[in-house]
């Protein structure tokens, strides 16, 4: 088993200038290497694994779902969620007894630590009237959020700028906020993330009040415009930094115990 200080880890995504993951792992765990790996396409992942000799990596936008076909195995919870944010790289070395040739087979195993981290950080903030939620976004992060809400018995709707049978529009979400008791709003989109800090994913801040709980998975900047507007109207607010730290802790435990 490799110790934390021997692990070569990283984060894959398309744009990673906003990420605090490298800083967190290096400062708190003394990881040997934690690389920020910007991939223009997921097809470039195998060469990155080989080039950096990765033992594991995190996954962020937009690859949490796209990576699944590249995996050799997937944890049952991650399979249920339909998104992966943590991958273990296993290397199996074989030697041909006749020719004395050594070969290396790489296997990728996917997990999701976003979902339990989101659940654990949301639960202490809930009040009795917080039992219906709007999830802004329909990507991999939103799937982790929806899994956690199901565990908590919270009804939810996905909100999308391109609505269809399973996603409602922002105008429909506005009506739910006015007419029904949807008192939780969760931003699972990248809107408002550094460097585009002057954008907000929620176009109706005037509807927010002290009964609402607004959770933005974005942690850079802190607070986001969404949370600033929510807090100014008395809503309870929470950003994604605690979730980032907790999902990272869970990921490291997986990497350490799966060697």
Residues whose CB is less than 8 angstroms from the CB of residue 194 and which lie 6 or more positions away in sequence, other chains included: 17, 18, 220, 221
As a whole number of angstroms, the distance between CA 43 and CA 47 comes to 9
Which two three-digit tokens encode residue 67? Answer: 């990576």
**Contact status, residue 235 vs residue 212, Cβ threshold 8 Å:** yes
Neighbours of 175 (CB within 10 A): 12
E strand segments, the chain: 8-13, 33-38, 56-59, 73-74, 86-96, 101-111, 132-136, 155-159, 167-168, 184-187, 213-216, 236-239
Residue (of 18, 4, 24) closest to 244 by Cα position: 24
Active site residue 236: no
Residues 99, 9: Cα–Cα separation, whole Å: 33
Which is the catalytic residue, given 15, 64, 179, 228?
64
Catalytically active residues, by annotation: 64
């Amino acid at each position: 088993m490799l110790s934390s200080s021997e692990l070569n880890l990283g984060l894959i995504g398309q744009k990673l200038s906003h990420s605090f993951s490298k800083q967190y792992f290096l400062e708190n765990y003394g990881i040997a290497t934690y690389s920020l790996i910007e991939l223009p396409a997921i097809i470039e992942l195998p060469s990155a694994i080989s080039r950096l000799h990765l033992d594991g990596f995190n996954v962020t936008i937009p690859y949490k779902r796209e990576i699944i076909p590249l995996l050799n195995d997937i944890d049952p919870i991650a399979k249920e969620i339909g998104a992966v944010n943590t991958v273990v790289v296993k290397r199996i070395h074989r030697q041909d007894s006749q020719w004395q040739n050594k070969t290396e087979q790489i296997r990728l195993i996917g997990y999701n630590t976003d979902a339990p981290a989101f659940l654990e950080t949301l639960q202490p903030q809930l009040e009795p009237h917080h039992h219906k939620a709007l999830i802004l976004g329909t990507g991999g992060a939103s799937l982790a959020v929806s899994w956690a809400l199901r565990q908590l018995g919270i009804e939810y709707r996905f909100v999308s700028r391109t609505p269809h049978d399973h996603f409602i529009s922002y105008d429909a979400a506005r009506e739910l906020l006015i007419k029904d008791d949807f008192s939780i709003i969760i931003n699972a989109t990248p809107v408002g993330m550094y460097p585009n800090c002057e954008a907000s994913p929620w176009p109706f801040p005037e509807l927010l009040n002290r009964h609402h709980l607004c959770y933005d998975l974005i942690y850079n900047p802190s607070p986001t415009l969404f949370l600033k507007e929510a807090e100014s109207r008395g809503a309870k607010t929470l950003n994604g930094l605690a979730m980032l730290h907790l999902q990272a802790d869970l990921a490291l435990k997986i990497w350490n115990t799966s060697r």
